[in-house]
Amino acid sequence: MKVIKALIILISPVFVGWIALFLGAYGISPLMVLKILLNETVHIFDIGEIPEKAIILDIRLPRIILAGLVGATLSGAGVTLQGIFRNPLVDPFILGISAGAAFGCAITIGFLSYLPIQFMAFVFAVTAVIIAYTVARTQGEVSRLPLILSGVIVSAFFTAMVSIVKFIVDPHKLQSIVYWLMGSFCLADWKAVRIAGLGVLAGIFPIFLMRWRLNVMSMGEEEAKALGVNISRDRLLFIGFSTLSVAVATSLCGIIGWVGLMVPHLVRMLTGPDHKTLLPLSLTAGASFMIAADTVSRTLTSFDIPVGIITALTGAPFFVYLMKKGGKEAWGK
């Protein structure tokens, strides 16, 4: 039964992405979508320059792929951080990534408009994690609890800085800051897809290769040390790769919460806590969830709803259900 569930999760991004291609304000039939894709890949059909071609290839397809890459990134980072901290409440933004990226966005829109938002959001997201790690480092070691607490402190600091920027910035620029903080894929293009792909390759792929170590680290520090695992080194590597990938994703689409917290829980409940399978399944499940959420955000009304609102509306009820029904079982206890 678990094998069937795993296969369904693995192929789900293709299925969900296919449905998302012909849904939208401008309806396109599945047959026309297929003709357009075949025309671009194997040149079976010659359909000419029709409006549907531009909608599919230049608007919907890059947006769907970007949503999938971001969803996979957030979910994969969530699995990783939950494993190394042995805490099911940890998500990719616990170390201050979101707050740092938000501050980078705010000061760019408010005062440094000649700089790209993505670059500054990335720089301050990484800076926030470096500060959190430095603050937590005591006597040459970094323990789980001090690192989480330092992440909370850094997040509070950067959140306060964002509030200051929002208070003094021009009202027209304030609107852009608030919209970015909600998270959206409305500006997706092929350049953003390439950047997100590089982020996945540089951040998530190394984690995928080392995923077996997460099983050892999730047993606890004493057990891991007894098995010869260098906890400090491996924790630093996992945090570094997770931060890199999430910072790139956040810089492209803004802050999208709950995905890295909710999707790993759901996959863990369905397939078990073994990270050898949990990580790849969480990547594909995260991609499917994000594509579905973004499709709802752009088709629910005549205007684009920030996808961060959709994920929050979905995640909060799920978390209540998780606490009531499957919390202990989902974590493998």
For residue 200, being part of any structural domain is answered with yes
For residue 113, being part of any structural domain is answered with yes
255-297: pLDDT as tens digits: 898 899 889 988 988 888 889 999 999 999 999 999 999 999 9
**How many domains does the chain contain in total?**
1
* Per-residue pLDDT, 330: 47
How sure is the predictor about 157, in pLDDT bands with cuts at 50, 70 and 90?
very high
For residue 330, being part of any structural domain is answered with no
Tell whether the torsion through CA atoms of 30, 8, 65 and 316 is positive or negative: positive
CA distance 49 to 45: 12
Nearest 10 degrees: Cα torsion 20, 67, 177, 118 = -140
Which of 117, 108, 253, 114 lies closest to 193 in space, CA to CA?
253
For residue 306, being part of any structural domain is answered with yes
For residue 333, being part of any structural domain is answered with no
For residue 332, being part of any structural domain is answered with no
Q: What is the CATH classification number for the domain harbouring 68?
A: 1.10.3470.10
Which of 15, 2, 68, 16 lies closest to 252 in space, CA to CA?
68
Which of 99, 89, 239, 93 lies closest to 155 in space, CA to CA?
99
For residue 28, being part of any structural domain is answered with yes
95-109, 145-159, 310-324: range with lowest mean pLDDT: 310-324
Domain extent for 80: 1-325
For residue 90, being part of any structural domain is answered with yes
CA distance 311 to 264: 14
| pLDDT at position 144 over 80 | no
Check: pTM over 0.75? Answer yes or no.
Answer: yes
Mean pLDDT, the chain, whole residue set: 86
